[in-house]
Amino acid sequence: MKRDFVDLEDFDAVQIEQLLTLATELKTALHDGRAEPLLAGRSLAMIFQKPSLRTRVSFEMAMYQLGGHALYLSPDEIRLGERESTPDVARVLSRYVDAIMARVFAHSDVEQLAKWASVPVINGLSDYSHPCQAMADLLTILEKLGTLRDVRLTYLGDGNNVLHSLLVGGALMGMHVVGATPPDYRPQAETVARAERLAEQSGGSIRLMEDPVEAIREADILYTDTWTSMGQEEETQRRNSAFPPFQINEELVAQGPSIAGVMHCLPAHRGQEITDSVADGPLSWLFDQAENRLHAQKAILVYVRED
């Protein structure tokens, strides 16, 4: 049966644990000079509607380190649903490559690719979720704190795709996730409800708040993301008016006595959602997260391979 990696909602806690264990093993093997070509002879098509430093380099290097090959397909080369229908793109690429990674605007494009492709499809980012980032985040937290269970993570800012995946991933793993957003920028209600059900089963919890100071008082980790994502440029002025109270700065961090680390999926708009002093300070986990995109995605690539 074909294995896709479209949303964390499609997995259970045991499967996530297995992926994290595999990511840890692959990272250790690389650092110890014991990396094996587990994907020798395999190829990955990388569809990009949005540019990305981390997504492109981490997937390309992941395939290289695993002995495979990655093919970059730019927005002008594909133009899903415009130059060629998404189902046709999925079926054509399935004849050429062993897996497809797509970084897109509309989540429906990833779902269509997964529906019509006969090879595994990986969601490199969509407007609804960012499961590869969440896997790197969970790996980073596990490395730093030694556990995920009962870890308290507070996300500050836009209720976007990153928060959706953190809510679901955190709920699956028994974490206590707080989403602190302005009232007009809450995460999707259906996703919150789904995460709440998962948290009930795992012993975790999900809370939404509008007061950033109250939200961080018991946090172990603070997390933020850009206030305006690609495709939202026309909303920049309105967003820049709503989000300043949610900026992670030294004054805010000082009000969270249990904070062990600060996270950001990058790219960071320094001076907006996070200040230089925090991003480059002793609590910053930003670049450990960035590195772990490579290792988490290697685990995903190995997981979806068809033997």
Q: Are residues 117 and 174 in the same domain?
A: no
Catalytic-labelled residue, pool 164, 264, 293, 295: 293
Could you give the number of structural domains in the chain?
2
**Residue 260 in domain:** yes
- Do 122 and 12 lie in one domain? The reply is yes
pLDDT over 90 at 79, yes or no: no
> 201 catalytic, yes or no?
no
Q: Are residues 266 and 143 in the same domain?
A: yes
Q: Note whether 29 and 177 are same-domain residues.
A: no
Residues 224 and 150 in one domain: yes
The structure's pTM equals 0.97
Tens digits of residue pLDDT in 110-152: 999 999 999 999 999 999 999 999 999 999 999 999 999 999 9
CA distance 40 to 46: 17
Average pLDDT over residues 198-208: 98
CATH of the domain at 221: 3.40.50.1370
% of the chain surpassing 90 pLDDT: 92
Is the per-residue pLDDT at 78 higher than 90? no
Domain membership of residue 3 (yes or no) is no
- Assess whether 120 and 184 both reside in one domain: no
Of 130, 176, 239, 295, catalytic? 130
Has residue 231 got a pLDDT over 80? no
> Does residue 133 carry a catalytic annotation?
yes
The reply to whether 139 and 232 lie within a common domain is yes
The catalytic residue among 42, 103, 164, 176 is 103
pLDDT of residue 37: 98
Q: What is the pLDDT of residue 151?
A: 98
As a whole-number percent, the residues of the chain with pLDDT over 70 amount to 100
Report whether pLDDT(10) > 80: yes
HEC per residue, the chain: CCCCECCHHHCCHHHHHHHHHHHHHHHHHHHCCCCCCCCCCCEEEEEECCCCHHHHHHHHHHHHHCCCEEEEECHHHHCECCCECHHHHHHHHHCCCCEEEEECCCHHHHHHHHHHCCCCEEEEECCCCCHHHHHHHHHHHHHHHCCCCCCEEEEECCCCHHHHHHHHHHHHCCCEEEEECCHHHCCCHHHHHHHHHHHHHHCCEEEEECCHHHHHCCCCEEEECCCCCCCCHHHHHHHHHHCHHHCECHHHHCCCCCCCEEEECCCCCECCCECHHHHCCCCECHHHHHHHHHHHHHHHHHHHCCC
Is 232 within the bounds of a domain? yes
Is 249 part of any domain? yes
Residues 6+ apart with CB under 8 A from 169: 8, 16, 131, 134, 135, 137, 138, 175
- 265 tagged catalytic: yes
Selecting among 7, 132, 264, 265, the annotated active-site residue is 265
Band (pLDDT 50/70/90 cuts) for residue 232 is: confident
Q: Are 96 and 157 found together in one domain?
A: no
Residues 106 and 144 reside in one and the same domain: no
Q: What is the mean pLDDT of residues 52-61?
A: 97
Residues 114, 172, single domain; the answer is no
Asked if 112 and 187 sit in the same domain, the reply is no
Host domain of residue 54: 8-130+293-304
> Does residue 56 sit within a domain?
yes
Judge if 137 and 271 occupy the same domain. Answer: yes
- Residue 103 catalytic? yes
| Confidence class for position 174, pLDDT limits 50, 70, 90 | very high
Q: Would you state the pLDDT for residue 76?
A: 86
- Active-site residue (options: 49, 65, 112, 133): 133
Among candidate residues 7, 98, 137, 225, the one labeled active-site is: 225
